[in-house]
Chain A
Amino acid sequence: MGVEADPLSRHPGMGEAAMPAGTATTALPRPAAGAAPARWRGHLGRWAPHLVLWPPLLVSVLHVVSFTLYTTWISFTPSTLLPEYDWVGMQNYVSVLNSRNWKIASSNLLIYGAGFVLLTTVLGLLLAVLIDQRIRAENLFRAIFLYPMAVSFVVTGTVWAWLLNPAVGIQHLVRGLGFESFRFDWLVDREMAIYTIVIAGAWQASGFAMALFLAGIRSVDADLYKAAQIDGAGAWRIYRRVVLPCIGPIFIAVLVILLQFTIKTFDLVRALTGGGPGLATQLPTLVVYDLMFQRGLLGRGGAAAVLLLLYLLAVLLPYFAYARWRRRKEARHG
């Protein structure tokens, strides 16, 4: 890192557009430092900011870089309860990828991801359109739809576990009302348990999707609306033809956010099903945890963590490329 730079003697580069994360570009050459003559009084004044500026920046940069490299390294070693530093090549990866646990967790992730993203997006969009109908008590409705995001997944998972528990929850209630043959036992059904995670997850996150969609809908150019209305387009047609195309980029952002969310899901499953029944709701995050801290296989756990990171990158890298492409396109069109 170019510590030769003296931040104090540089022109502060303000006023440039805020750049979303992950778009670091190489710094352009700037006017050389030290144009102003250094005075004796300036020495402390010049160094003190460095002492404040660098430690937190370095700590956060170093922790990201070194932790990633370290876990990756561990994944190529035979480490069990404690780190060992012999090289075993791809052995951990082969054994993780061939394990039944990982295969089931990955296919669960696909089902959960598809169901959760679809349901959350549809619910979020529907709620946003409903809220956009010049309704009364808009703030109240928005607050109700968004409050689950303020609550811990542990709480969400615990409460949904009660509601979905056939012995005490919804099934029990409906049977008590006289519908003796009513069945809603997904929580303990190996085939259906994964969908309980979908329901609880969508309950928690759809308000957030709503907020993002609503912001998008309301940023649509007012003139476009008017033009469509003058053309005699009905409300449904306006949404389909004017609003949806305009919020395309928000759609993609919501999808990426929700996919990320899916891949990182951990607390919710721990509280709701614990990964069961059997392996029915096992997810890769739980496999990593299980390998590292329950079975004491740090090497394999590290390999599983790296695979998890690769899943995440498979979602994020295309998105960053797309975001970059869009920015360039917008820059070209002024």
Chain B
Amino acid sequence: MIDTIEILKKQFEINDLYHQRSNLCFITGKKEQLLSILQALRDLHNYTHLVMVTAVDWIEQNQFQLTYLLHNYESRTDLGIRVFLDRECPVMASIHHLWKQGRVYQQELHEMFGIDFPGSPDQDIPMILEGWQGPPPMRRDFDTKKYSEETYSNRERNHHEPEQYMKQILYPEEN
């Protein structure tokens, strides 16, 4: 895996190599070169399996981190490519033509984070939520507890201290 990364370093701008395990590495790539990196990994270096595409919201640094995780069945290694997007206007190139399940991941990320993948089929059709009128729910500035308390009403709860409650039931004469 290290030689693959060395080969990639000659062509693209790659930094932040993070060795998590012997068979798992994370690298950071540039957003504009990501499509070429993925295509090179898939066609030349045998990383044929797209495991997942996720996003992490680094609200303190005003960035989204997209992680593309690829797996190589020959050498049994994983390579995660991180890409940082601007949080105000997150746009990223679509990979639905490389892997068919990429379309589904991108549809979910668009709905949950608000990241735009122009060209991805069915992107604006809501997949998970129906009739959702709020902000994208997975962003860190969306407070789910406050939203839940405002929208849904809770049942009144009776609080019992277990010890006192059981004493009252079992020995009513003494209390």
Q: Is the A/B pair a real complex?
A: no
Residues of B within 8 A of A (CB): none
